[in-house]
């Protein structure tokens, strides 16, 4: 497998030129109207979300030839067992070779039997054989230190890189974070250009987190010329996925009037939405924004913000 090198950053293979040209061509420059994701994402969508042992499966459009339903179910079952969130939305994955899939299944059986070491060996064999799902699982385990695995950022990076190159969009986002932040422990320097490429792959798959990071990079001028309008577009797209950090940032933008007319009511409404959709960690950050801006609110404005937030929910119920 590739190793992390300082100064010679392995590049994530670019998504199909046709796909990137579509998403770039779909970025209008003169209005805040969000771009059409039907144009931005030419691939199929399939999502399995896990919270504990519950699962939700949504078929968003006809599945094109690619990874089989058997492999999907195998990955989804393992993700549930490990407490991970399995997402395959917009990715184009090839079926693994039978030998690689067999090694993956042996790893699943070993982990169920409590033999973590054997599971890791089998999944590594599967990943070496080109099993994108195995690489994604190993990246998550080493990144988060879950499932009885000791956290190892170097291995997490390696496996995320493999999974991202294999078409796994969630892995591309995690890889983008490695490039965005850098990691001294594994000798990986910050690389905004590679981070941008990785987040674009995730954005093509309609991932709210990827769209959020693209928005933040455009607004900060990281790897691209500073462009607040373009950044806000990505944040709006992300917010439509109910990604709480995007709502919080849009709320802050409206309070501060950064590239938009300052609007306390709209800003507060977005903070309310961020609070509704956020994780406990997200809500801590939102609470800080509530505290920062509470004294700016005038009588009756919070009630109007509540109405605006409810209207947003009604208008985006199918998002």
pTM: 0.75
How far apart CA 146 and CA 138 sit, in angstroms, is 10
Whether the Cβ atoms of residue 3 and residue 158 lie closer than 8 Å to each other: yes
**Burial (Cβ within 10 Å: 0-12, 13-18, ≥19) of residue 243:** buried
Number of domains in the chain: 1
Q: Establish if 255 belongs to a structural domain.
A: yes
Side-chain-side CA neighbours of 190 within 13 Å: the count stands at: 5
Structure tokens at 210: 């990827």
Give the model's pLDDT for residue 87: 53
Q: Establish if 128 belongs to a structural domain.
A: no
Q: By C-alpha distance, which of 214, 189, 188 is closest to 201? A: 214
Give the model's pLDDT for residue 268: 98
Structure tokens at 54: 């519950």
Q: Establish if 89 belongs to a structural domain.
A: no
Q: Establish if 270 belongs to a structural domain.
A: yes
Contacts of 150 (CB under 8 A, 6+ apart): none
Give the model's pLDDT for residue 12: 59
- pLDDT tens column, 279-316: 999 999 999 999 999 999 999 999 999 999 999 999 99
By residue range, what is the domain housing residue 276?
242-319
Helix (H, G, I), strand (E, B) or coil at 191: coil
Give the model's pLDDT for residue 317: 82
Query: Tokens 């509530």 — which residue?
Result: 290
Q: Establish if 291 belongs to a structural domain.
A: yes
Give the model's pLDDT for residue 33: 33
Task: Give pLDDT tens digits along the chain (319 positions).
Answer: 444 444 455 655 443 343 334 334 443 333 333 334 443 332 222 232 222 323 332 333 333 344 555 555 655 556 555 555 555 444 445 678 899 999 999 999 999 999 999 999 999 999 999 999 999 999 999 999 988 899 999 999 999 999 999 989 999 999 999 999 999 999 999 999 999 999 999 999 999 999 999 999 999 999 999 999 999 999 999 999 999 999 999 999 999 999 999 999 999 999 999 999 999 999 999 999 999 999 999 999 999 999 999 999 999 986 5
Helix (H, G, I), strand (E, B) or coil at 35: coil
How far apart CA 196 and CA 150 sit, in angstroms, is 29
- pLDDT tens column, 117-160: 999 999 999 999 999 999 999 999 999 998 889 999 999 999 99
* Residues across the chain: 319
Q: Establish if 53 belongs to a structural domain.
A: no
Q: By C-alpha distance, which of 181, 169, 161 is closest to 222? A: 181
Query: Tokens 């042992």 — which residue?
Result: 53
Give the model's pLDDT for residue 94: 63
Helical H runs in 56-191?
69-82, 98-112, 116-128, 132-144, 153-165, 169-181
Burial 99-119 (b: 16+ CB within 10 A, else e): ebbbbbbbbbebbeeeebeeb
Whether the Cβ atoms of residue 176 and residue 199 lie closer than 8 Å to each other: yes
Q: Establish if 272 belongs to a structural domain.
A: yes
Region label for 114, one of left (φ > 0), alpha (ψ between -120 and 50) or beta (otherwise)? left
Q: Establish if 82 belongs to a structural domain.
A: no
């Amino acid at each position: 497998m590739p190793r992390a090198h300082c100064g010679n950053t392995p590049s994530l293979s670019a998504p199909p030129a046709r796909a990137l040209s579509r998403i770039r061509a779909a970025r209008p420059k003169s209005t805040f109207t969000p771009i059409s994701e039907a144009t931005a994402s030419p691939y199929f969508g399939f999502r399995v979300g896990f919270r504990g042992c519950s699962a939700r499966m949504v078929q968003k459009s006809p599945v094109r030839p690619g990874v089989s339903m058997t492999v999907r179910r195998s990955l989804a079952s393992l993700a549930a067992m490990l407490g991970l969130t399995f997402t395959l939305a917009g990715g184009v994955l090839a079926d693994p070779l039978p030998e690689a899939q067999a090694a993956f299944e042996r790893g699943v059986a070993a982990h169920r039997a409590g033999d973590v070491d054997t599971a890791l060996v089998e999944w590594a064999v599967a990943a070496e054989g080109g099993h994108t799902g195995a690489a994604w699982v190993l990246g998550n385990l080493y990144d988060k230190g879950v499932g009885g695995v000791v956290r190892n950022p170097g291995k997490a990076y390696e496996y995320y890189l493999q999974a991202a190159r294999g078409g796994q969009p969630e892995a591309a986002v995690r890889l983008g974070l490695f490039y965005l932040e850098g990691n001294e422990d594994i000798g990986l320097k910050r690389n905004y250009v590679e981070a941008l490429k990785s987040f674009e792959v995730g954005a093509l798959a309609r991932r709210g987190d990827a769209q959020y990071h693209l928005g933040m990079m455009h607004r900060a001028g990281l790897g691209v010329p500073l462009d607040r309008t373009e950044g806000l577009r990505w944040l709006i797209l992300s917010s439509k996925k109910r990604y709480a950090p995007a709502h919080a940032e849009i709320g802050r933008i409206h309070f501060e009037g950064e590239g938009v007319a300052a609007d306390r009511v709209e800003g507060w409404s977005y903070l309310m939405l961020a609070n509704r959709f956020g994780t406990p960690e997200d809500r801590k950050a939102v609470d800080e924004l509530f505290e920062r801006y509470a004294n700016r609110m005038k009588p009756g404005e919070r009630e109007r913000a509540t109405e605006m937030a409810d209207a947003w929910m009604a208008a985006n119920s199918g998002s």
